[in-house]
Structure 1
C-alpha cells in the first residue's frame, strides 16, 4: 500500500498522457532491489526529540535507474511518516558519505527531482539532515564560499532547507558535541560517531516494511492481501486508488 502510494504519487506528477499511462502500467514495479545494500533505511532508534531517523549511505549505491531510486526514497519517507510518534511531524536524516565516489553518485537530474519532491510534497517534514564525513568541497558549495557556484546551490535548495543541513566530520570536537546534542550516543551507530553497531538485514527490514503496509491498509479500511515476500518489499494483489497517508506538516 505504502509502496503504491509512493509510485502513484510520482505518477500524478506527470502531465503528458503517455507518461501517465506508462507509470500506471508500472505501478506494481518491484523496487526491492533498491534496498538490498541498505543504502536507505529507517533506523531502529529516534533522535532526542523522538523523531524517526532515515539513514542514507550513498557509498552503497547499487543501481543507476533514477526513477527507481526516487520511488524507493519516497517509499521510505512515507514509512517514516507512518511511524511518527504522536505530536511529532518531522524526521531526521543521517547521511554517511563513507565510501562515496563519483561512480556511486546519482545523476544531477535525479538529485534535482528528489529535492523537488521533498520541498514541494513533503514541506517541513525534514527537521535536520546530518551529512557525515562528506567531501570538504560539499560544504564549500553549500555555504557558497565559492561565489560563482552560488546559483547552483540556489537552483537545488531553497534557503529554509539549506539551514537544515549540518556538516559533520569525525574526530572534530564541535561535530561530536553537535551529534551528541541531537542523538543518544549509546544508540547512534559508530558510522556516525556513536557507540552502537549498525546492522542491516535486508530480509528482516523487508518484513518490517510489510508489517507497516498491512497496518496502513487496515487503518484506511483496505482489503490488503500481500504477495509472497521474496527478500524484498511486497506489493498488494488488489489496491484501490491510494489516499495520502498524512497531511503536510504544519
Structure 2
C-alpha cells in the first residue's frame, strides 16, 4: 500500500526554498499550456527534492518528463483504455484513506508479471510519501537489494499478517476497522470492478475538465466514458 508524498523536507529556511523554486521555474524557459499546468509549485518541489535541491539536475529531470509527457500525453488516457488492467484488482485506488486522509494505492504483485511490478514499485516508492508492504521476507530482502535506492528504502515498512507486533506498523497508518481483511484488517470488503469503474469514470470527467481549456477554452466537458460490463464483477475476495 502506498500514499501520496508530503511536502519536501528541504533543510533550509522558507526564503531559500522559494528562491530555489523560482530559479527552477526560470530555468525551464517557455512551456506549453499543458506544461505550465503540470509545472505548478508542488511539481517543482517534487523534482527539486528528488535531486537534493540541485536546480540544474532538477531542470534536466523535469525537462525529460515534459518531453515524455508531450509525446505520450498521459493526461489524455481515460478509464476505458486501461480498465482491463484492473479487472482482477491487481492495482487500484482504494476507497479508504490512511489516517492522514491521503489516497491509498493497493498493489497485488502476485497478479501481474514481475518486470511490470518492479517498474511500478520503483516509480511509486520514489514519488510517494510512504509504503507498507506485506511480502514474504525473502521478497522484502530482494526488493531492498535490487530495486530500491537508500533514500527510497527509508520509506518502506514491511509487515507480516501473522506477526501482531509487525501489524502495529500498518495500524499506525490505517485504521484496522477500515483496512480490508486480506491485509490484516477487520473490513470484509471485496473488490468490485463495476463499482470501481464508476469511480474511475468520475475521475475521468475531473481530468477532462482540468485539461479541457488546452483544447478549447470555452468547451464544456459533457461526455461520460463508457465502461464495458465485465463477466466477473467480484474478482478479489478478502481473505
Q: Shorter-chain TM-score: which interval?
A: 0.5 to 0.7
TM-score, normalising length: structure 2: 0.55
Q: Among residues 54, 57, 67, which one is paired with 2:105 in the alignment?
A: 54
Structure 1 spans left out of the alignment, 5+ residues: 62-104, 144-149, 233-250
1:41 aligns with 2:92: yes
Q: Among residues 110, 129, 151, which one is paired with 2:131 in the alignment?
A: 129
Q: Say which SS state the counterpart of residue 137 (structure 1) adopts.
A: helix
Higher helix share: 2
| Aligned residue pair count | 158
Q: Say which SS state the counterpart of residue 31 (structure 1) adopts.
A: helix
Q: Among residues 103, 106, 127, which one is paired with 2:114 in the alignment?
A: 106
The structure whose Rg is larger is: 2
**Which residue of structure 1 lines up, in the alignment, with residue 31 of structure 2?**
none
Distance 1:137 1:112, change over 3 A: closer
Structure 2 Cα separation of the partners of residues 142 and 112 of structure 1: 9
**Which residue of structure 2 lines up, in the alignment, with residue 30 of structure 1?**
81
Q: Say which SS state the counterpart of residue 120 (structure 2) adopts.
A: helix
The alignment's C-alpha RMSD in Å is 3.3
Post-superposition Cα deviations, 1:62-107, rounded to whole Å, max 9, x if no partner, equal: xxxxxxxxxxxxxxxxxxxxxxxxxxxxxxxxxxxxxxxxxxx422
Q: Say which SS state the counterpart of residue 216 (structure 1) adopts.
A: helix
**Which residue of structure 2 lines up, in the alignment, with residue 229 of structure 1?**
227
1:196 aligns with 2:197: no
Structure 1 Cα separation of the partners of residues 117 and 157 of structure 2: 18
**Which residue of structure 1 lines up, in the alignment, with residue 201 of structure 2?**
210
1:13 aligns with 2:68: yes
TM-score, normalising length: structure 1: 0.53
Structure 2 spans left out of the alignment, 5+ residues: 1-37, 39-63, 214-219, 231-239
